[in-house]
């Protein structure tokens, strides 16, 4: 039995109020857990660091202080348990009246946006634009040239360096006569014209030969990543150790053999064409599915309040920030690179956020109308795809855990939405992309009425 019970009430503007109660024993368990965690961090005379017993922590800190910390840590999880089965949008506004006495449950409430409801129009037998899959010879040339570049070699040359050449450098930089962190390197390989270093640095090495020594003067950009160097003038003592020229292999049958074991260049180009065509087919199919869905959205009525759109845009930014962190990039550094603040970027995302909300609303309405269901076998199949290296028993255990924690609902909905879109695509009729675009640009009274009502849809945007 879940420790969290929730009662949901719909309120105006696509929002709900949820009253939540957390069982007393679950609250006490969180209190003990918080006291134990704090015991690993506190320094109290008579106890080794990290070995302070939970009882002593409670005596020293007081029950209310430890419980406050316990609730702060647990609230996100309790919130997640309370919204299982609710398609929330944006951050909640939480109201916590106070901390409970010992043996009493914790009660809190919150308001949060929910996915809007759609009134469906026609959603089957729709016409939607679909591009033809054509791979031009010029695209194949570009791909082959990229392969050629990857197999290039660098050869030392006895001449002056020019754009496209590589130089091997030793350099030491200084600002106001003082060296700075990151301003020194040895054996640094630099392609002239690549724009990898500070603006103006590479240009001052054009015409240099092996063993030349030069002083390079540059100014760090005002938006440079290091505040200590931003906008500062710097001088670099540079020694050119070597000039290297890029040697590209000839595009002949020997190249075809070395680059992939093909007998001839014709065979290599056909392989490239096939792979590009396969990737293009997947891209076109994804575009066509979106076009079908957007056609159904255009026929539907979906009221999306601006605060809901803004909340969804914030969700999209948070998701993007997490992806950046997984790739090793600080989201704040990304904002600095774009020259925009978080709120400005979120505002720019609102158009995509509105489109996403309308698509989800239409798909949810189709699921309900068509009574789309998702079996456990379909859940297992999806989990197998997500866990390709897992044993069958591990996949089954993952599903059992998801059900126990109430986390299978989101997965079921994802699969149901895909099935609903499959249903719409199966009955749709592809038309030429140019014809579909011309149709969307054509004025109609219905379109003007929609624009005036604020329900604007921009197909394919």
User: For 238, phi and psi rounded to 5 degrees?
Assistant: -115, 135
CA distances from 150 to 1, 198, 247 (A): 59, 26, 11
Same domain assignment for residues 55 and 109? yes
Per DSSP, the three-state class of 163 is coil
**Per-residue confidence at 450, pLDDT binned at 50, 70, 90?**
very low
**Please, what is the average pLDDT of the chain?**
89
Tell me the pLDDT tens digit for each residue of 383-413: 999 888 888 999 898 888 888 877 788 889 9
CATH code, 301: 1.10.3120.10
Tell me the pLDDT tens digit for each residue of 426-442: 999 999 877 777 766 65
* Lookup: tokens for 109: 């409430």
- How far apart are alpha carbons 41 and 35 in whole angstroms? 10
CATH code, 109: 3.30.70.1050
**Per-residue confidence at 459, pLDDT binned at 50, 70, 90?**
very low
Whether residue 190 lies inside any domain: the answer is yes
Count the domains in the chain: 3
* Cα 76 versus chain centre, distance: 22
Give the per-residue pLDDT at 339.
85
Tell me the pLDDT tens digit for each residue of 104-137: 999 999 999 999 999 999 999 999 999 998 999 9
Q: Which among 117, 77, 107, 7 has a CA at the least distance from the CA of 407?
A: 77
**Per-residue confidence at 1, pLDDT binned at 50, 70, 90?**
low
More confident site: 452 or 120: 120
Same domain assignment for residues 232 and 271? no
Same domain assignment for residues 54 and 189? no
Same domain assignment for residues 361 and 324? yes
Last residue of a domain, which of 88, 113, 138? Answer: 113
Same domain assignment for residues 95 and 172? no
Same domain assignment for residues 438 and 290? yes
Same domain assignment for residues 327 and 208? no
Please identify which residue in the block is written with the tokens 């957007």: 294
Whether residue 128 lies inside any domain: the answer is no
CATH code, 204: 3.10.50.40
Whether residue 145 lies inside any domain: the answer is no
Tell me the pLDDT tens digit for each residue of 267-304: 999 999 999 999 999 999 999 999 999 999 999 999 99
**Per-residue confidence at 460, pLDDT binned at 50, 70, 90?**
very low
Per DSSP, the three-state class of 222 is coil
Same domain assignment for residues 22 and 62? yes
Tell me the pLDDT tens digit for each residue of 23-66: 999 999 999 898 888 888 777 777 777 777 888 878 888 889 98
Whether residue 198 lies inside any domain: the answer is yes
Whether residue 135 lies inside any domain: the answer is no
Contacting residues for 150 by C-beta, under 8 A, at least 6 apart: none
> Residue 25 in contact with residue 1, Cβ under 8 Å?
no
Q: What is the DSSP string of 402-441?
A: HHHTT-HHHHHHHHHHHHHHHHHHHH-EEEEHHHHHHHHH
Burial 57-74 (b: 16+ CB within 10 A, else e): bbeebeeeebbebbbeeb
Same domain assignment for residues 403 and 311? yes
Per DSSP, the three-state class of 120 is coil
Q: Judging by beta carbons within 10 Å of its beta carbon (0-12, 13-18, 19+), is residue 313 exposed, middle or buried? A: buried
Using the Cα atoms of residue 385, residue 390, residue 392 and residue 398 in order, give the sign of their dihedral: negative
Q: Judging by beta carbons within 10 Å of its beta carbon (0-12, 13-18, 19+), is residue 306 exposed, middle or buried? A: exposed
Same domain assignment for residues 274 and 400? yes
Please work out, in degrees rounded to the nearest 5, the angle formed at the alpha carbon of residue 111 by the alpha carbons of 108 and 116.
145
Last residue of a domain, which of 90, 113, 136? Answer: 113
Give the per-residue pLDDT at 442.
59
- How far apart are alpha carbons 148 and 322 in whole angstroms? 36
Same domain assignment for residues 209 and 165? yes
The pLDDT of residue 457 is above 60: no
Q: Judging by beta carbons within 10 Å of its beta carbon (0-12, 13-18, 19+), is residue 298 exposed, middle or buried? A: buried
Whether residue 368 lies inside any domain: the answer is yes
Whether residue 258 lies inside any domain: the answer is no
Last residue of a domain, which of 247, 275, 308? Answer: 247
- How far apart are alpha carbons 234 and 177 in whole angstroms? 9
Whether residue 140 lies inside any domain: the answer is no
Give the per-residue pLDDT at 452.
42
Which domain does 191 fall in, by range? 153-247
- How far apart are alpha carbons 196 and 455 in whole angstroms? 46
- How far apart are alpha carbons 23 and 192 in whole angstroms? 67
The pLDDT of residue 319 is above 80: yes
Same domain assignment for residues 243 and 271? no
């Amino acid at each position: 039995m879940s420790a969290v019970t929730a009662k949901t009430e719909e309120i105006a503007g696509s929002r709900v109020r949820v009253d939540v109660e957390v069982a007393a024993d679950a609250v006490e368990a969180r209190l003990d857990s918080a006291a134990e965690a704090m015991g690993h961090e506190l320094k109290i005379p008579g106890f080794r660091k990290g070995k302070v017993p939970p009882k002593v922590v409670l005596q020293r800190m007081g029950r209310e202080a430890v419980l406050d910390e316990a609730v702060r840590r647990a609230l996100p999880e309790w919130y997640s348990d309370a919204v299982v089965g609710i398609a929330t949008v944006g951050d909640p506004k939480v109201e916590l009246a106070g901390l409970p006495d010992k043996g009493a449950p914790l009660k809190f409430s919150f308001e949060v946006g929910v996915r809007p409801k759609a009134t469906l129009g026609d959603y089957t037998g729709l016409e939607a634009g679909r591009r033809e899959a054509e791979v031009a010879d010029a695209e194949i040339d570009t791909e082959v040239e990229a392969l050629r570049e990857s197999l290039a070699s660098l050869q030392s040359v006895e001449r002056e360096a020019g754009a496209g050449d590589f130089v091997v450098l030793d350099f030491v930089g200084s600002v106001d006569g003082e060296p700075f962190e990151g301003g020194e390197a040895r054996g640094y390989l630099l392609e002239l014209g690549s724009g990898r270093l500070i603006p103006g640095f590479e240009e001052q090495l054009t015409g240099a030969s092996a063993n030349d020594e030069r002083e390079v003067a540059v100014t760090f950009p005002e938006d440079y990543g290091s505040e200590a160097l931003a906008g500062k003038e710097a001088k670099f003592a540079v020694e050119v150790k070597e000039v290297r020229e890029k040697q590209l292999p000839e595009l002949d049958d020997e190249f075809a053999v070395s680059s992939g074991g093909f007998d001839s260049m014709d065979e290599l180009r056909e392989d490239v064409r096939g792979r590009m065509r396969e990737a293009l087919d997947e891209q076109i199919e994804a575009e066509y599915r979106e076009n079908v869905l957007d056609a159904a959205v255009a026929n539907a009525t979906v009221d999306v309040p601006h605060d809901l759109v803004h909340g969804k845009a914030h969700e999209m930014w948070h998701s993007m920030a997490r992806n950046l962190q997984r790739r090793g990039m600080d989201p704040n550094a990304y904002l600095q690179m774009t020259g925009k603040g978080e709120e400005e970027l979120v505002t720019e995302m609102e158009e995509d956020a509105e489109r996403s909300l309308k698509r989800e609303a239409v798909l949810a309405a189709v699921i309900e109308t068509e009574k789309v269901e998702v079996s456990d076998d379909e859940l297992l199949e999806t989990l197998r795809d997500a866990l390709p290296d897992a044993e069958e028993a591990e996949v089954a255990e993952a599903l059992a855990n998801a059900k126990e924690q109430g986390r299978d609902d989101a997965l079921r909905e994802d699969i149901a939405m895909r099935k609903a879109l499959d249903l719409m695509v199966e009955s749709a009729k592809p038309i030429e992309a140019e014809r579909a675009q011309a149709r969307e640009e054509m004025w109609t009274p219905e379109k003007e009425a929609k624009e005036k009502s604020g329900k604007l849809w921009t197909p394919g945007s």
